[in-house]
Structure 1
Amino acid sequence: MTTATWRPRRARIVPYVLATVVVLSMIALAVVMPAPWSLGDRIGLVAIGLVVAGILHMLARSRVTADPDGVTVVNGLRTHEYEWAEVLGVSMAEGAPWPTLDLSDGSTVAVMGIQSSDGERADRALAELTTLIHERGETPGP
């Protein structure tokens, strides 16, 4: 089995475009501010734009990767790594923004790397992940 990675399309495009607009706007604002604004104030404006861009990047970096060892889920600040034996299934409720992994310890984890807003692309990704979980994650019956 090779490595498969799923990333949302729209949930990546929007934050990166917005981050670019925010940073460029803050740079422009820093340049056109009147004389009472010091260099430190101008640098502060650009820094605020960069912080906002960093936060948007954390949202856009979501992904899920399946490799021979298991599943890695990257959501915002946290990265979760699970061996195949820990993953029981994946499901996405009607109207849910993303699916959840069902884990052997009874917990669940959001899989923001697959976004329902991507429509058929998300359906294909969910089907592919479900197939891999059935092949690798569930213990076969007797």
Structure 2
Amino acid sequence: MDETAGGPALSRTWRPRAVRIVAYGMGLLVMATMIVLTVILPDDWRPQDRVLLVMLGAVIAAALHLLARPRLVAAEDNVTVVNGIRTHVLAWPEIVDIRMPVGEPWPSVDLSDGTTLAVMGIQSADGERARRDLEEFRAMLHERGEAPEPGDS
């Protein structure tokens, strides 16, 4: 906690735990399997076939990395939402609320332009940890997220 501001300290990063363990574990397993296969394959396999086998393992590991990549980063002046492929940088006042209805895999933020954005950096598969992370972010949002009213000094 940041003692001077009276709220949670910034910058804070949230990442899903269970998905990362599974994705990176599977990526290592796939790469290890492909490397072992290239070593034990019969001699009639050409070198380029062996290289392609390892490259296939690398492509699968890269796809698994996209599953493990999501995160939510709260900084003093903005929020960065990193999902599988896209990254969104939002100012605190752009975020109206964050919610994760029961049964949803991850929360979504309601934005001031009327749209919503999935936040895959917190995932319900993490159970109680996900609920704590959601409440921690919500506290930061309510502290920093409201834009000043017109005319306020």
Give TM-score scaled by structure 1 length. Answer: 0.95
Q: CA RMSD in A?
A: 1.3
Select the structure that is richer in helix.
1
Moved over 4 A (4+): none
Residues 70-102 of structure 1: CA deviation (Å, up to 9, x unaligned): 110111111110001111010001100000011
Say if 2:90 is the partner of 1:73.
no
Structure 2 partner of 1:61: 69
Say if 2:58 is the partner of 1:50.
yes
Stretches of structure 2 lacking an aligned partner (at least 5 in a row): 1-8
Structure 2 partner of 1:113: 121
TM-fit CA distance, 1:138: 2.1
Distance in 2 between residues matched to 1:137 and 1:114, nearest whole Å: 19
* Candidates 17, 25, 31, aligned match of 2:25: 17
Q: 132-141 or 37-46, which moves further after superposition?
A: 132-141
Distance in 2 between residues matched to 1:46 and 1:140, nearest whole Å: 55
* Candidates 30, 39, 48, aligned match of 1:31: 39
Question: SS in structure 2 opposite 1:88?
Answer: strand
Residues 78-136 of structure 1: CA deviation (Å, up to 9, x unaligned): 11100011110100011000000110111111111101011111001000111111111
Distance in 1 between residues matched to 2:87 and 2:39, nearest whole Å: 38
Structure 2 partner of 1:100: 108
* Rg larger for: 2
Stretches of structure 1 lacking an aligned partner (at least 5 in a row): none
Q: 18-27 or 33-42, which moves further after superposition?
A: 33-42
Work out the percentage of aligned pairs sharing the same amino acid: 52
Distance in 2 between residues matched to 1:108 and 1:9, nearest whole Å: 24
